[in-house]
Amino acid sequence: MTTSEDKFESVLSTRYCKNSPLVSILSETNKATLWRQLWIWLAEAEKELGLKQVTQEAIDQMKTEINHFDWPFIRSEERKLKHDVMAHNHAFGKICPLAAGIIHLGATSCFVQDNADLIAFRDSIDHILKRFATVIDRLATFSLTNKEVVTVGRTHYQTASLVTVGKRGVLWAQELLMAFQSLAQFRDQMRFRGIKGATGTQDSFLTLFGGDESKVEALDELVTKKADFKHRFLITGQTYSRQQDAQLVFSLSLLGAAAKKVCTDIRVLQAFGELLEPFEKDQIGSSAMPYKKNPMKSERCCSLARKLINAPQEALTILADQGLERTLDDSAGRRMLIPDVLLTAEALLTTLQNIFEGLSVQTENVKKIVEDEIAFLGLEKAMMMLTEEGVDRQQAHAVIRKTALEAKQLQATQKVDIRQTMADPFFDSVRDRVVGLVSNPINFTGRCVSQTVNFIDNELKPTIAKYLDQSAGNVQLDV
């Protein structure tokens, strides 16, 4: 007997997302069920608007049989017809003889294909937004917990003015929140294709309703409402504009870019010994070097993020290659691209949530690094104090630059003391004040604490509130 291990399957559905509802939402069965539901909604709306050939008995039979699939017959029909929609049409008509003559009445293939895709995309986005909100919430918790933990800032990857771990955390949160807002805005503005006919003219429906444009418009509105969409395309070709797909992909690519920035930072800081991503009890870091704790989860996130970052190029090409009212240049690419992008986003967010739920600060090492750098950071404070006393800012900068560079040379062989660094009489008027501040590094972090709290309370929490599932548990990764 052939097992799943004997054939290739997508690692997204079998490894990284196997427990995700997206696997079902994007499945072939759900797609086929949505096609049938769209045929039911179309028939209901046509009957409500007075089409005599659509009977309630036909609609009732379709509703009864909506989940009855004869997959061998469907596959056989598709092999013969080379047309998936007609294969499903025949299969549904076979088990719904009362409806066989009115299934798909007036519609073209993209009525079920495009509209079902949009419903599946919408449902996937709804799940992703909830997951995304949880991820941001976990990062907010980490940031608040560490809002007063002083650490060295780093510009150009070199030590810089002090910050707090919490402030750095909300910088990460802001990047993720902006990507979240882009996806939420896309979700709110998504448009349904509706009923548009073979080339977008709605001519077949106009014929069915005897030339009554108001009924065709009402039919479009009714089906859109039944599918629970607020917005619809007023005009299309055979398909809805693939620019909408590109906008979705771009929103998810922003998630990829933001997550890659965050996880690259975590990897760098773990290398510096400042942070440690969660490392499980029986986890092995290296088959050759048993002592290692590699940041493999952050590395995985960077790898997944790269897929999202590169995806817009394909989405843009699909849009650009869509000829006239419709060509099939989009078909195969969309079948792969958009489900893969949605599943990749889910895999990335799931891993990121696990990281934030277990991310720890190596406080002793962080403190040591701060102590090693505090003498130099005190000089920056000295420059501000000297200017308060009337010293020319450029003169102060020049003296401090010379003093700091000389002290840096000594740092490789000895601990640099702030009084020793400021021994030059030039610093006499401010030396004691600076030394007093150095004893408590939080004095060098500016508004880090208040900025952290303010951002979380006034921007982050209100933005994610309606999407956040307060009962969501912590993530345990299978791999």
CA dist 477 and 44 (Å) reads: 45
Active-site hit among 286, 331, 360, 450: 286
Helix, coil or strand: residue 327: coil
* Kind and range of the H or E run holding 191: strand 191-192
User: Is residue 156 flagged as an active site residue?
Assistant: yes
Question: How many other CB atoms sit within 10 Å of the CB of residue 395?
Answer: 13
- Tokens at residue 185, please? 């805005």
Contacts of 372 (CB under 8 A, 6+ apart): 411, 415, 416
Residue from 103, 160, 165 nearest 139 by CA:
165
CA dist 155 and 165 (Å) reads: 15
DSSP letter, residue 13? I
Active-site hit among 4, 156, 214, 471: 156
DSSP string, 352-415: HHHHHHH-EE-HHHHHHHHHHHHHHHHHHHHHHHHHHTT--HHHHHHHHHHHHHHHHHHHTTSP
Residue 375 burial by Cβ neighbours in a 10 Å radius (0-12, 13-18, 19+): buried
CA 52 centroid distance within chain:
47
CA dist 159 and 373 (Å) reads: 8
CA dist 288 and 448 (Å) reads: 42
- Tokens at residue 66, please? 């909506």
Q: Which residues pair with 158 in a beta bridge?
A: 155
Catalytic residues: 156, 286
